[in-house]
Amino acid sequence: MSEKLVEGKIEQKEQPSKFNLLTNYEETIRALAEVEGEAWFNGDQKKKNIENTTRGALEHLKRLAALDEELRSEGGEPEESENAIYSVYGDGGWNRWMIMRNGEVRFSRFHNPEKSGEVETRGFKIFY
């Protein structure tokens, strides 16, 4: 967290995650593979149907970026959101990796609370 003094109060802001499909794709994929395993990684990267894969997430993020750019060119401003915009399935479909609009990858605590501590120590943020 970073801190900033605003009107006499310290405001804390979350640091951006290093695990981001838009800004740090290769390292993010490697970290996901360390958690989910090599079989998951191979399936995620080679599936013909890219739904609920990291490749599907990246395509979705690119489409959103294009829509945002179109909106800006028309004088609008894209909506900022803390909602997940895509879900990537982990090995066996139990774990869920929530993809935020800015490309950040977070682990869904709801889908596997027991694993969330391990994942957080690896540097992933947790989605509640």
* Residue matched to tokens 């405001």: 11
Evaluate whether residue 9 is within a structural domain. no
Percent of the chain with pLDDT over 90: 72
Q: Quick check: is 2 in a domain?
A: no
Residue 73 lies in a domain: yes
Both tokens of residue 108?
């869904």
Please report which confidence band the pLDDT of residue 22 belongs to, taking 50, 70 and 90 as the band edges: very high
Helix (H, G, I), strand (E, B) or coil at 127: strand
* Domain count within the chain: 1
Do the strands 84-89 and 9-13 form a parallel or antiparallel pair, or are they unpaired?
Answer: unpaired
Token digits for 59? 């395509």
The answer to whether residue 122 sits within a structural domain is yes
What integer is the mean pLDDT of 65-87?
88
Range of the domain at 90: 17-127
Q: What pTM was computed for the model? A: 0.83
Write down the pLDDT at residue 5.
Answer: 58
**Distance of alpha carbon 46 from alpha carbon 75, whole angstroms:** 39
Residue 46 forms part of a structural domain:
yes
Classify residue 118: in a domain, yes or no.
Answer: yes
What local confidence, expressed as pLDDT, does residue 111 receive? 95
